[in-house]
Chain A
Amino acid sequence: MAQTVVVVTFYSRGGVTERLATAAAVGAVQARAGIRMRRLADADPAATLQRYPEAQESLARMHREYVPPREADVQAADALIVGLPAGMTPRSGECSGFFEMLARLGGEGKLAGKVAAAVGADQTLDAIAGALSAAGLTVVTSKEDSRSDGTEAAIALGRRVVAAAESSRPAST
């Protein structure tokens, strides 16, 4: 069986959501999946750096270390894990393009058989899960597994997402 591919996409400024997304990625790796980590881009990176001076160091690092998700990443994925910080929704400026792309791909039937999950602040989880589900993804969800301070729970969620992706595959002959 080909290795399951999990694309972990998140937005983070200070690193909290990045840590959760990374923990979910570790869980996926523990389940022997291959991972890609992608960060949603700031609409205006320089302006974001100025607006959040307390997060300047982590923002500058993340600008260097990550590339934003592309359609090819989503198409290659067996599973998507999406992380957003408190105060952001799929309609926020940094995220809307990504969720619009998912909705379009879903409408074209290109997300069939893929699973997804959300990590992040409690108040964002329902909104992320709703947008993922609306795009036609099968959402693996449990608030117990993805609280904003729960890296162990995020690791467990990463493992479960891989199990769900592998069980949703058609049996090979």
Chain B
Amino acid sequence: MITIRKSDSRFQADRGWLQSRFTFSFADYNDPAHAGFRSLRVMNEDRISPGKGFGPHAHRDMEIITYVLEGKLQHRDSMSGPHTMGPNEIQTMSAGNGIVHSESNASQTEPLHLMQIWIEPSAEDLPPSYQQVAVPLSAKRGRLHLIAGPADSQHSPPTTINQDARLYVSELGAGEAVSQELTSGRHAWVQVVRGEALLNGQPLREGDGASVSGEPRIEVKGGASGGEILLFDLA
């Protein structure tokens, strides 16, 4: 079964310097019908004005993945920093037993556009960690490129998270397709972050997401203008 969460049905938050779309419940938005999917808890699309950002604040027991679509993000945390990251980089932070961090648009002139994803960890009170790696353009073009997953000798993700969940990114030209087998008990979430795509033949536009359960295989095909997707393979 495929259930689509349309882009324009997401919650819209406007704080002036921050324009956000929440796919799932977040902050003051609490919608039991959209509280998450499997271990996926947060799927936020944020646009942050130049020079603005989130001051120091805390997290605990959450795997936080940030994928920049446009602009530069500056990050500092209680373990390290500052770190600056841009498009085609992935940041994976395990809040573990406690972390304080700040995030802001590193540019005073250019906007920052990013996806922030929270995944529930498989255990509490783990040591916090920070990872940031580049995603080579060639690695994600026309194929599913694993960018985060559990420490696993079979898949060797470039960044590790404390959950049985794997995150892939793929940039697809028009009509170009990738596929993923979903073994018994596995589920998927597909989020279109740029352009358009077809998920098992169903059209998805930029900002749309879809949960997939009970399907043995999913195929994602680039739409008329191509597209970029995030695919989560979830327990």
Residues of chain A at the chain B interface (Cβ within 8 Å): 22-23, 25-27, 29-30, 32, 34-35, 37, 64-67
Any A CB within 8 A of the CB of B216:
no
Q: Is the CB of A64 within 8 A of B104?
A: yes
B98 within 8 A of A: yes
Tell me how many residues of B have a C-beta within 8 Å of chain A.
15
- Given the interface pairs A37-B55, A37-B56, A65-B55, the reply to whether A26 lies near B100 with Cβ below 8 Å is yes
Asked if B13 is at the interface of the complex by the 8 Å CB criterion, the answer is no
A30 to chain B: which residues have CB within 8 Å? 60, 97-98
Residue of A nearest to B54 (CB): A65
Asked whether A65 lies within 8 Å of B78 as measured between CB atoms, the reply is: no
| Inter-chain CB contacts under 8 Å: number | 45
- Across the interface, A25 reaches (CB within 8 A) one of B51, B55, B78, B104, namely B78
What residues make up the interface of B, taking CB atoms closer than 8 Å to A? 51, 53, 55-60, 78, 97-100, 102, 104
Chain B positions within 8 Å of A26 at CB level: 58, 78, 98-100
Indicate if the CB atoms of B78 and A22 lie closer than 8 Å: yes
Q: Which residue of B lies closest to A34 (CB)?
A: B58
Which residue, B59, B97, B100, has most C-beta atoms of chain A within 10 A? Answer: B100
Q: A77: shortest Cβ distance to chain B, in Å?
A: 15
Name the distance in Å between A7's Cβ and chain B's nearest Cβ.
12
**How far in angstroms is the closest Cβ of chain B from A55?**
15
Task: Note all chain A residues with C-beta closer than 8 A to B58.
Answer: 25-26, 29, 34-35
Query: What residue in chain A is nearest B128 (Cβ atoms)?
Result: A26
**B100 A29 Cβ-Cβ under 8 A:** yes
Sample 8 A-B pairs with CB under 8 A, ordered by A number: A25-B56, A25-B58, A35-B57, A35-B58, A37-B100, A64-B53, A64-B104, A66-B55
Asked whether B56 lies within 8 Å of A32 as measured between CB atoms, the reply is no
Q: How many whole Å from A141's CB to the nearest CB in chain B? A: 22
